[in-house]
Amino acid sequence: MDARTPAQPCLLEVSNCRQAYHKDANADLVVLDGVNLRLREGEIVGLLGRSGSGKSTLLRIVSGLLKPTAGDVTWRGKRLDGPADGVAMVFQSFALFPWLTVQENVELGLEARGVARVEREKRAEDAIDLIGLGGFESAYPKELSGGMRQRVGLARALVVYPDLLLMDEPFSALDVLTAETLRTDLIDLWSEGKLPVKSVLMVTHNIEEAVLMCDRILVFSSNPGRVASELTVPFKHPRNRLDPDFRQMVDDIYALMTRRAVPEPRAATAPPISPLAMSLPRVGTNIMSGLLETLAADPYHGRADLPALAASLQYEADELLPLGETLQLLQLAVLEEGDIALTDLGRRYVEADTDERKQIFADALRAHVPLVKMIRQVLDERWNHRASAVRFRDELEDHMSPDYAADTLRTVIGWGRYAELFSYDEEAEQFSLEDIA
Amino acid sequence: MSATIHPSLATARRLPNLWDAVAILCVFGALIGGLHVAQGTLVRIDAPGATQISLDPANLPEYAVRTTLRMFAALFCSLLFTFTYGTAAAKSRRLGLVLVPILDILQSVPILGFLTFTVVFFMSLFPGKVIGLELAAIFAIFTSQAWNMAFSLYQSLKTVPADLAEACDSFHLSGWQRFWRLEVPFAVPGLVWNTMMSMSGGWFFVVASEAVSVGDNTWKLPGIGSYVALALEKQDIAAVIYAIVAMLVVILLYDQLLFRPLVAWSSKFRFETTAGATASDPWMLRLMRRTRLLQVVGGAVGDAVAALGGLRLSLRIRPRAAGQDKPSRVIDAIWLLVMLGVLAWAATRIVGFAATELAWSDLGEAVGLGLITLVRVVVLMILASLIWVPIGVWLGLRPVWARRAQPVAQFLAAFPANLLFPPFVLFIVYFHLSPDIWLTPLMVLGTQWYILFNVIAGAAAFPGDLREAADNFRVGGFLWWRKVIIPGIFTYYVTGAITASGGSWNAAIVAEVASWGETKLTAHGLGAYIAEATDKGDMARVVLGVVVMSAFVVAFNRLLWRPLYAFAQRRLTL
């Protein structure tokens, strides 16, 4: 691909980037590993991956907000050390200052550069008009809708005429229609050459958004975050979501992302992984039952195409994939080539009544989730059938970040309670066998 | 300034209006008054009129102005302290290790006990001049105001939203710009609220600190506090009532002129991105926004502040990337050693001092008296809760009443309760009641209102759907209190009760000893112990009393209030 556009100079180069958080006892927690990225002028590049794949971390490394543990970041041929000039960022949460007006928020970056007041106001007004915010100059962020707020975020980034525009899941906090309007507006400005930027790097977990906007997509795998594959999007702007080629590409990426999720078979000589090294997403039992029932019913009859399912349920890949993987972990469903299919056990679960469902779920948990098995074992062994949750969280934290450990524990508590494998006292942070038949 | 103005109104605004006249009068009146008082501080202490008080009510306006100016001088110092100490504690990890616990302790130390010694210190700085006394009074007020303000700033600086901090870095804001654009605005609502609380606390101290006796000399700085002290000596009940009325007027004025507008203005800095229900602007803020002159002045000041905050000052040329630079262990170790050295030195000094002046029996006595005061505080908190929680809930659940009652309760909390002591003392003397029991209510006289207005706020914020659900399932009587409303307002109640109980400990020093002319009433307790030691100039026992009281307050907070608050935050927050 490098050969295809040799004329465009390279803006940014990330080589062999690794980001790890230091743990005292055990090995480091690796968030990003061996990531390479070259960004040339005139392209929109998307970093696509699930939450926890380190794509936002990479964005912060590129912006200079975060220093990588190892590896080099070169910006316009120089090593990056701290936030670079010519890089501006758009935040998922908008990050607008609630006490500054739209105009003042937009002027912020210019003020930091010491641009004189007259020029500052002129440039801010231009950016505000460009992004379709004219008339809102004196409004405070809290008076605006989400879409308008993100327009302020965009104007604030564009007003400094950045060479590189970084966007961290810029549309994920917006509703579907608003997000679509913003995407098309941005792409229109880009295609017409009205955006004062040379290149755009955006993070997203929305597959369609990536295919709609980007010229190149890097698909990340999780744990640790790596670039699993790199795709070039060959379509011209404006792109049509209903175009069969477009759909095919979305399907392919779904397949790619689900295939990656299956753990690779390990050689017998490989060091054993601790049973606790498995981080679990926050997936509730109701939503699992709901998906299983949906799969079993019309029109899917036990098998569904993931993009189609996501579209009809109004789920994003980032929500649907962890759900599917959890069902696969419990062997209630399988993921294959962008499809999800019920297993026999899953079908039995759907047909069962409440008590039988709980029994099936409990058996699946004990068989496939080592943490649940371990908690129950400890409880059975103790004379008072009680155990502190802190101990399990500490053990989990040896293998993952504290946030993930907390999430995993919370998920397991919810599952265990539903399956009536154990009860949990939030106040005392204690597992017990009280009220368990 | 960018507000859109209707064209027809815009022309009208250009002419000076009636509000301008009012504003000019106010501004110049304040300037002249301030100058007059400033001249007064340079007079010698024995000059005629410098430290004499007359009970003629015609003097009260001047006394009120002087007392108020002392308050604002102290407030200014508190703000300086807040912005230096609070910022240093938040910005430097090593300083924070030391400064934060110190602040935490200072918050619970009853500084009132040290009044005599600070007076001696400041008078030695300016021998024979009134300014020494003035500074001592200002310092006493400062010590009642500064700590919670500094804490408020510290906590705000520590909880700046991460995405905004990142935005600042990514747009290359310098440290100075970041401080004024992000950190200070973010801290403003909390700081304004705490300033208001500090003002209320300060009145209590101003009354106690204007009339001081050191050894045989008693000085009375012209002010409302010394006016009351003289009225008590002369047994002039009419003068006491004049003073109370004057105080009411002063508090009403600064509340309306300063704090209402400030609070309304600070709501713009509240960190929430949803538009909430906004109360109408207080009249003073409207006046400031409508007055042409004040607008121009305010605009100029605002622009100057904005320009100052926008300066690209920074210790570092550019912000560094966060992450990998680990703090130096060597410097940490040196820092720790220095702190340990200071600690050891302080400990030997204290032990040496205590060994020469005090015996173990003194400690026993102080702790015993502390326990008596503890019983008082606990009983009072229970009584105040039993009375004010039901009333607060009743008021809070009725929006019309809540709106009327809330300002009144806040106002009462701001009123210096020690002005109200004389009627109580008269009452006790007249009926020959036991001071041990009947002096006790004075301790909560000023602080009970914190419980009331927090409970009102909690009940007013109680969700309508939960009330409807309770009604729908016919939850009533005791069950309703136990399962519905008490858990619903608990967080608010605890917030109020913490302030109330802290204030009660402090008030003990003034409330356990009361006098009316020649009659002196003393209750048994740690407060009376400190007050008596202060009278005798017995430094060792003052220090001992204050230390024991601080220990009680800290223990009370750590063992009761903090766990309760944590529990409420965890389980009972809606």
Residue by residue, DSSP assigns A225-256 as: BEEEEEEE--PPSSP-TTSHHHHHHHHHHHHH
Q: How far apart are CA A80 and CA A340, in angstroms?
A: 43
Give helix B60-81 / helix B237-254 axis angle, nearest 10°.
50
Q: Indicate the average pLDDT of chain A.
A: 86
Say yes or no to pLDDT of B1 above 50. Answer: no
A113 at interface of B, judged by CB pairs closer than 8 A: yes
Q: What is the DSSP track for B406-436?
A: HHHHHHHHHS-GGGGHHHHHHHHHHHT--HH
**List of chain B residues whose C-beta atoms are within 8 Å of the C-beta of residue A159:** none
pLDDT category of residue A188 using cuts at 50, 70 and 90:
very high
pLDDT category of residue A90 using cuts at 50, 70 and 90:
very high
What token pair was written down for B188? 């403003």
Q: Give pLDDT tens digits for B462-509.
A: 888 888 888 877 887 888 888 888 888 998 899 888 888 888 887 888
Whole-number pLDDT of residue A358: 93
What token pair was written down for B171? 């747009």
A300 closest CA partner among A256, A329, A345, A308: A308
Asked whether the beta carbons of residue A156 and residue B272 sit closer than 8 angstroms, the reply is: no
Asked whether the beta carbons of residue B318 and residue A82 sit closer than 8 angstroms, the reply is: yes
Cis before A238? omega within 30: yes
Say yes or no to pLDDT of A260 above 60. Answer: no
**Which positions 270-329 of B are in contact with A (Cβ < 8 Å)?**
270-275, 310, 312, 318-325
**Which positions 219-278 of A are in contact with B (Cβ < 8 Å)?**
none
Best of A56, A85, A111, A203 to substitute, by most chain B Cβ atoms within 10 angstroms, is A111
Q: Give pLDDT tens digits for A28-41.
A: 677 888 889 999 99
Question: What distance in Å separates residue A53's CA from the closest CA in chain B?
Answer: 19
Q: Facing residues of A10 across strands?
A: A40
Q: Contact A206/A219 with Cβ under 8 angstroms? A: no
Is the dihedral angle over the CA atoms B367, B372, B375, B381 positive or is it negative?
Answer: negative
The domain spanning residue B45 has which CATH number?
A: 1.10.3720.10
Mean pLDDT of B189-205: 82
Give helix A389-397 / helix A370-381 axis angle, nearest 10°.
140
**List of chain B residues whose C-beta atoms are within 8 Å of the C-beta of residue A103:** 2
Mean pLDDT of B231-255: 84
Q: Give pLDDT tens digits for A120-178.
A: 999 999 999 998 888 999 998 888 998 999 999 999 999 989 999 999 999 988 888 89
Q: Contact A137/A121 with Cβ under 8 angstroms? A: no
Could you tell me which chain B residue has the CA closest to the CA of A426? B571
pLDDT category of residue B17 using cuts at 50, 70 and 90:
low
**Which positions 43-82 of A are in contact with B (Cβ < 8 Å)?**
60, 63-67, 69, 81-82
A87 at interface of B, judged by CB pairs closer than 8 A: yes
Mean pLDDT of A386-414: 87
Whole-number pLDDT of residue A261: 45
Query: Is there a domain that residue B41 lies in?
Result: yes
Element (H, E) at A378: helix A370-381
Torsion of Cα atoms, A97 then A99 then A104 then A110, to 10°: -50
Whole-number pLDDT of residue B466: 82
Best of A22, A32, A142 to substitute, by most chain B Cβ atoms within 10 angstroms, is A142
Q: Facing residues of B515 across strands?
A: B520
Q: Indicate the average pLDDT of chain B.
A: 79
* B396 and B539 part of one domain: yes
pLDDT category of residue B411 using cuts at 50, 70 and 90:
confident
pLDDT category of residue A86 using cuts at 50, 70 and 90:
confident
Mean pLDDT of B212-227: 77
pLDDT category of residue B5 using cuts at 50, 70 and 90:
very low
Q: How far apart are CA B225 and CA B130, in angstroms?
A: 16
Asked whether the beta carbons of residue B163 and residue A63 sit closer than 8 angstroms, the reply is: no
Q: Which residues contact A1 (CB under 8 A, 6 or more apart)?
A: A216, A230, A232
Poorest-confidence range of B191-200, B276-285, B440-449, B482-491? B276-285
Top pLDDT among A274 and B54 is at B54
Q: Which residue carries 């936002």 as its tokens?
A: A56
Mean pLDDT of B340-359: 80
Asked whether the beta carbons of residue A108 and residue B164 sit closer than 8 angstroms, the reply is: no
Asked whether the beta carbons of residue B166 and residue A108 sit closer than 8 angstroms, the reply is: no
CA distances from A359 to A266, A307, A365, B543 (A): 31, 32, 10, 68
Asked whether the beta carbons of residue B273 and residue A149 sit closer than 8 angstroms, the reply is: yes
A238 closest CA partner among A218, A213, A215, A209: A213
pLDDT category of residue B290 using cuts at 50, 70 and 90:
low
Could you tell me which chain A residue has the CA closest to the CA of B167? A95
Give helix B130-158 / helix B60-81 axis angle, nearest 10°.
40
Mean pLDDT of B507-517: 78
Query: Is there a domain that residue B1 lies in?
Result: no
Say yes or no to pLDDT of B200 above 60. Answer: yes
Mean pLDDT of B520-544: 83
B190 closest CA partner among B265, B270, B272, B100: B270
Q: How far apart are CA B200 and CA B571, in angstroms?
A: 31
Q: Which residues contact A431 (CB under 8 A, 6 or more apart)?
A: A375, A378, A379, A386, A387, A388, A389, A416, A422, A423, A424
Question: What distance in Å separates residue A23's CA from the closest CA in chain B?
Answer: 13
A112 at interface of B, judged by CB pairs closer than 8 A: yes
Q: Contact B507/B529 with Cβ under 8 angstroms? A: no
Mean pLDDT of A391-402: 83
Query: Is there a domain that residue B451 lies in?
Result: yes
Whole-number pLDDT of residue A332: 93
- Write down the pTM of the prediction: 0.77
**List of chain B residues whose C-beta atoms are within 8 Å of the C-beta of residue A109:** 171-172
A28 at interface of B, judged by CB pairs closer than 8 A: no
Cβ-in-10-Å burial (0-12, 13-18, 19+) of B361 comes to exposed
ipTM reported for the complex, 2 dp: 0.74
The last residue of a domain, from among B218, B241, B274: B274
Q: Domain residues for B397?
A: 358-571
* B268 and B397 part of one domain: no
* B553 and B431 part of one domain: yes
Tell me what percent of the residues of chain A surpass a pLDDT of 90.
Answer: 38
What's the domain count of chain B?
A: 2
Q: Give pLDDT tens digits for B312-347.
A: 665 554 445 555 455 677 888 888 888 888 888 888
Q: Contact A30/A400 with Cβ under 8 angstroms? A: no
Could you tell me which chain B residue has the CA closest to the CA of A105? B181
Nearest-5° angle of CA A434, CA A435, CA A437? Answer: 110
Q: How far apart are CA B97 and CA B567, in angstroms?
A: 26
The radius of gyration of chain A from alpha carbons, rounded to an integer in Å, stands at: 24
Q: Do domains A10-259 and A285-349 have the same CATH topology?
A: no
A69 closest CA partner among B119, A78, A60: A60
Question: What distance in Å separates residue A310's CA from the closest CA in chain B?
Answer: 30
Best of B170, B191, B325 to substitute, by most chain A Cβ atoms within 10 angstroms, is B170
For domain A285-349, which architecture applies? Orthogonal Bundle (1.10)
Top pLDDT among A354 and B477 is at A354
Closest in A112, A142, A427 to B273, CB measured: A142
CATH number for region A10-259: 3.40.50.300
Q: Which residue carries 């992984």 as its tokens?
A: A273
Element (H, E) at B131: helix B130-158
Asked whether the beta carbons of residue A91 and residue B312 sit closer than 8 angstroms, the reply is: no
**List of chain A residues whose C-beta atoms are within 8 Å of the C-beta of residue B172:** 83, 85, 109, 112-113
What token pair was written down for B57? 């009510």
Q: Contact A43/A215 with Cβ under 8 angstroms? A: yes
Whole-number pLDDT of residue B387: 93
**What order of strands is seen across the sheet that includes strand A423-425?**
A386-388, A430-432, A423-425
What token pair was written down for B312? 């690209």
Mean pLDDT of B388-417: 83
* B250 and B365 part of one domain: no
Question: What distance in Å separates residue A126's CA from the closest CA in chain B?
Answer: 17
The last residue of a domain, from among B241, B274, B307: B274
Say yes or no to pLDDT of B45 above 70. Answer: no
Q: How far apart are CA B109 and CA A10, in angstroms?
A: 63
**3-state SS track over B461-496:** CCCHHHHHHHHHCCCCHHHHHHHHHHHHHHHHHHHH
Question: What distance in Å separates residue B180's CA from the closest CA in chain A?
Answer: 12
Q: Give pLDDT tens digits for B82-113.
A: 999 999 988 888 888 888 888 877 777 777 77
Q: Contact A164/A214 with Cβ under 8 angstroms? A: no
The residue extents of the domains of chain A are 10-259, 285-349, 358-432
Element (H, E) at A167: strand A164-168
* B73 and B172 part of one domain: yes
A147 at interface of B, judged by CB pairs closer than 8 A: no
The last residue of a domain, from among B274, B307, B328: B274
Nearest-5° angle of CA B151, CA B156, CA B157? Answer: 100
Could you tell me which chain B residue has the CA closest to the CA of A111? B310
CA distances from B414 to B67, B203, B250, B365, B512 (A): 15, 7, 11, 34, 21
Whole-number pLDDT of residue A395: 85
